[in-house]
Amino acid sequence: MVNAGSVEAPNGTAELGVGASLLLQDSSNSKQLFVQTGSKGTIANLGAVQAAQINLQAADGNIYALAGGGTRTRATGTGNRDGHVWLVADTGSVTQGGTISALNADGSGGTVDTQATNLSFGRGAQVLASQWSVTSPAFTIDSAAARAFHRSLGAGTSINVTTTGATGAAGDLDVASSLNWQGPASLSLAVNHDVSVAPGVRLRNAGSGDLTLRADASGIDNGGSVLNRGTLDWSASTGIVSALYDMTGRYSPGTILTNSAWSAAPFSGLLKQVTGYKLVNSLKDLQQISADLGSNYALGKDIDASATSGFPPSFAFTPIGNGATPFIGQFDGMGHTINSLKPSGTVLVTPSNMTGGPDQRSLRRDRRAAGVVRNVDLNGQLSNLQDYGSYGILAGFNYGLITYARTSGSVSTFAGYAYTSSAGGLVGYNYCTITRSGSSADVSAEGTLGGLVGINAGTIRQSYATGSVSAQAHTGGGGGLVGGNAGLISQSYATGQVSFQPDYCGGGGGSTCSDGSAALVQTNNGTIEQSFATGLVVQQINPVLGPPPLGVASTNNGTIASDVYWDIQTTDATRDVYRGTGTSAAKGLTTAEMGSPSNFAPTYDFSATGAWTMPDGATHPVLRWQLAQ
């Protein structure tokens, strides 16, 4: 099949396919033509193709996308079709020349997918799009590919190169030619096995572009390695470089030049501009972190941890680190999820078996060498915990930084045995920093408990809790977000039901039924600002002995700012606090008032770049970062 003229389909898809068997499917936003192998056909596009979407497909044949002489292969998109170009010759060849363009109807960048066993790039080859995905069983960035990538990256097109290891190939990727570009476009090399940079080769960005070198892209623990024998030059870039390799693989960083003026993006949790990570691809890998608590790790894919459930479980997961030897490295979930984890304690820090928590020597050391956990979703269950300590689905104690972490599931302590404990849906006891994190876990416990954190002695910012909190037996009550706050809570909220239902009062914890629960925190000895609560408060105690439902805190000996609110209807609370010597300027709003930004203090920034947003139909604000997750 040869097109030497022009093909136009301004509102639809131009599909050119050759093969013994062609399959069509109805689709408004993806390719509709599929070619089965066995054709050995050829498509030569020598002219112009312009359509909302373009698909050139020859399963095991050849595709020549040669838009020379100023002509182009151009997908411009429509209102219901993003601009998308496919060049697919799975076990065949694609020869690409000239300019291939993909734009959405609104003018933003579209997508170009190039997939073949053999790829070659002619003079002037480039892609103008938001994303260019290049897929092949194995690949070498030679001088021709480097020139095509240079032009595309410099024009603002981010490139993802993936090797699959199909057709018997090892799936390695070799960077054999230097590549230099300016601007914000990023380059990702995600390979089936090893990625290597040859001696004398320099990869360089001047701008804000990122570089990702990812071995074992399928997450099968094949020993994939990242081997840099050249130079990674990010000295003029504000972007980041990430190298990801298997637990049993190797990482050779080679020569790396960084920008002395680089600083991490707010809330990112990054510590350095260039980071090497060991990949965690299985439950076994996750457990292996215990053998090296100071290294950097990243989830290579979602992990099913259901083997940790059952009686007895087929995989007995031991919590990672403890009060004496805590986790002090970096753990980046890369947006992945750990599902159905049921450890014999907490996930990243084991609670101390000593009443009162970890000894002070451990605490001081932990503050000097703090760990980082970021970008992870964790579903877990902690049940029938009987030791005195601190419990959370993510961590018992946090002495470092937790950012963009979310938990779901449940936490429960055994009544009568944990009255000096602290429990939270995310963390039991926070000594340092939690930002842009949340929990939907239900917490039912003794001691001091909150939907997000049991006790906060550090900073909680732009975080939330939506799970229910049930304070039982020896307890002073619970808080929808935090049990006891001695630090700072800012730009955060709680929406879960909070109940106080002690089986009896007093006990080793010294608490009495006169304490009670509150929609936001149980006790405040620190500062709370720009935060709110909406969850129902149920005080199942004799009203003569204890307080009514409370909107903010049961006891306040700290400061509660005037931009703290509670919903007087959904919480069933007419008072902000019950007792204490602190100050509170919190305000109660009706549900209707909570649904309008105009009723919140000017400190609540609802602008396009502000911390808060009010979705259509919402009954209260949410944090803007939540909508991007």
Tell me which of 249-258, 263-272, 358-367, 564-573 is least confident. Answer: 358-367
Q: Can you tell me the distance from the alpha carbon of 303 to that of 373, in angstroms, rounded to the nearest whole number? A: 16
Between 358 and 518, residue with greater pLDDT: 518
Yes or no: say if 148 and 96 are a contact pair by the CB < 8 Å rule.
yes
Whether residue 58 is predicted with pLDDT greater than 80 in this model: the reply is no
Whether residue 412 is predicted with pLDDT greater than 80 in this model: the reply is yes
Task: Note the residue count of the chain.
Answer: 629
Beta bridge partners of 586: none
Read off φ and ψ for residue 223, nearest 5 degrees. Answer: 80, 20
Q: What is the pLDDT of residue 296?
A: 96
Q: What is the mean pLDDT of residues 360-389?
A: 65
Tell me the per-residue pLDDT of 608-627, one tens digit each, with 9 for 90 and over.
999 999 999 999 999 999 99
Single-letter residue type at 291? A
Whether residue 351 is predicted with pLDDT greater than 60 in this model: the reply is no
Q: What is the pLDDT of residue 25?
A: 43
Q: What is the pLDDT of residue 50?
A: 73
Q: What is the pLDDT of residue 370?
A: 75
Q: How confident is the model at residue 33 (pLDDT cuts 50, 70, 90)?
A: very low
Whether residue 511 is predicted with pLDDT greater than 60 in this model: the reply is no
Q: How confident is the model at residue 36 (pLDDT cuts 50, 70, 90)?
A: very low
Whether residue 324 is predicted with pLDDT greater than 90 in this model: the reply is no
Yes or no: say if 467 and 425 are a contact pair by the CB < 8 Å rule.
yes
- E-only strand ranges, 103-175: 111-121, 126-128, 131-136, 139-141, 158-163, 173-175
Q: What is the mean pLDDT of residues 286-294?
A: 93
C-alpha dist (Å) from residue 48 to 2, 81, 392, 474, 591: 11, 20, 60, 77, 58
Q: What is the mean pLDDT of residues 548-571?
A: 97
Q: How confident is the model at residue 46 (pLDDT cuts 50, 70, 90)?
A: low
Whether residue 26 is predicted with pLDDT greater than 80 in this model: the reply is no
Percent of the chain at pLDDT > 90 equals 62
Cis check: omega of the bond before 137, within 30 degrees of 0: no
Q: What is the pLDDT of residue 544?
A: 52
Q: Can you tell me the distance from the alpha carbon of 112 to that of 133, in angstroms, rounded to the nearest whole number? A: 6
Q: Is the Cα torsion angle 479, 482, 487, 492 positive or negative in sign?
A: negative
Q: What is the mean pLDDT of residues 50-60?
A: 71
Yes or no: say if 208 and 228 are a contact pair by the CB < 8 Å rule.
no
Between 283 and 42, residue with greater pLDDT: 283
Beta strand pairing call for 296-299 and 303-304: unpaired
Q: What is the mean pLDDT of residues 56-66?
A: 69
Q: What is the pLDDT of residue 321?
A: 83
- Burial (Cβ within 10 Å: 0-12, 13-18, ≥19) of residue 259: middle
Whether residue 39 is predicted with pLDDT greater than 70 in this model: the reply is no
Q: What is the pLDDT of residue 61?
A: 65
**Local structure of residue 599 (DSSP, 8 states):** G
Q: Can you tell me the distance from the alpha carbon of 556 to that of 558, in angstroms, rounded to the nearest whole number? A: 6
Sheet of strand 521-524, all strands in order from the earlier edge strand to the far edge: 395-398, 427-430, 453-456, 482-485, 521-524, 550-556, 575-579
**Which alpha helices (DSSP H) does 292-405 contain, by range?**
360-368
**How is residue 459 written in tokens?**
């900073």
Domain with CATH 2.160.20 in the chain: 303-627
Q: What is the pLDDT of residue 96?
A: 87
For 188-214, the DSSP string reads EEE-SS-EEE-TT-EEEEEES--EEEE
**How is residue 121 written in tokens?**
């790039």
Q: Can you tell me the distance from the alpha carbon of 24 to that of 7, in angstroms, rounded to the nearest whole number? A: 19
Select the highest-mean-pLDDT range: 27-41, 58-72, 153-167.
153-167
Q: Can you tell me the distance from the alpha carbon of 253 to that of 225, in angstroms, rounded to the nearest whole number? A: 11
Tell me the per-residue pLDDT of 84-117, one tens digit each, with 9 for 90 and over.
888 888 888 888 888 888 998 888 999 999 998 9
Whether residue 504 is predicted with pLDDT greater than 70 in this model: the reply is no
Beta strand pairing call for 337-341 and 372-385: parallel
Query: How many Å separate Cα 325 from the centre of its chain?
Result: 26
C-alpha dist (Å) from residue 439 to 6, 229, 406, 529: 55, 43, 5, 20
Q: How confident is the model at residue 16 (pLDDT cuts 50, 70, 90)?
A: low
Tell me which of 143-147, 243-247, 325-329, 496-500 is least confident. Answer: 325-329
Tell me the per-residue pLDDT of 485-494, one tens digit each, with 9 for 90 and over.
999 999 999 9
- From the candidate CATH numbers 2.160.20, 2.60.200, 2.60.40, 2.40.30, the one assigned to the domain spanning 303-627: 2.160.20
Cβ-based neighbour number of residue 69 at 10 Å? 10
Between 473 and 339, residue with greater pLDDT: 339
Q: What is the pLDDT of residue 70?
A: 53
Q: How confident is the model at residue 81 (pLDDT cuts 50, 70, 90)?
A: confident
Sheet of strand 255-257, all strands in order from the earlier edge strand to the far edge: 179-183, 202-207, 231-233, 255-257
Q: Can you tell me the distance from the alpha carbon of 87 to that of 63, in angstroms, rounded to the nearest whole number? A: 7
Q: What is the pLDDT of residue 557?
A: 97
Between 38 and 536, residue with greater pLDDT: 536
Q: What is the pLDDT of residue 85?
A: 86
Half-sphere exposure of 325 (CA within 13 A, CB side): 9
Q: Can you tell me the distance from the alpha carbon of 484 to that of 117, in angstroms, rounded to the nearest whole number? A: 60
Q: What is the pLDDT of residue 369?
A: 46
Q: What is the mean pLDDT of residues 448-461?
A: 96
- E-only strand ranges, 369-441: 372-385, 390-392, 395-398, 401-413, 422-424, 427-430, 433-435, 438-439
Q: Can you tell me the distance from the alpha carbon of 180 to that of 163, in angstroms, rounded to the nearest whole number? A: 22
Beta bridge partners of 253: none
Single-letter residue type at 315? F
Tell me which of 70-84, 314-328, 387-401, 455-469 is least confident. Answer: 70-84
Yes or no: say if 418 and 387 are a contact pair by the CB < 8 Å rule.
yes
Q: How confident is the model at residue 453 (pLDDT cuts 50, 70, 90)?
A: very high
Q: Can you tell me the distance from the alpha carbon of 379 to that of 558, in angstroms, rounded to the nearest whole number? A: 34
Q: What is the mean pLDDT of residues 233-244?
A: 98
Q: Can you tell me the distance from the alpha carbon of 589 to that of 109, in angstroms, rounded to the nearest whole number? A: 44
Average pLDDT taken over every residue of the chain = 85
Single-letter residue type at 232? L
Q: Can you tell me the distance from the alpha carbon of 210 to that of 546, in angstroms, rounded to the nearest whole number? A: 57
Q: What is the pLDDT of residue 542?
A: 57
Q: What is the mean pLDDT of residues 220-240?
A: 98
Whether residue 9 is predicted with pLDDT greater than 70 in this model: the reply is no
Longest dimension (CA), the chain: 90
Q: What is the pLDDT of residue 477?
A: 81
Tell me the per-residue pLDDT of 549-560, one tens digit each, with 9 for 90 and over.
999 999 999 999
Read off φ and ψ for residue 204, nearest 5 degrees. Answer: -145, 135
Q: Can you tell me the distance from the alpha carbon of 390 to that of 319, in angstroms, rounded to the nearest whole number? A: 13
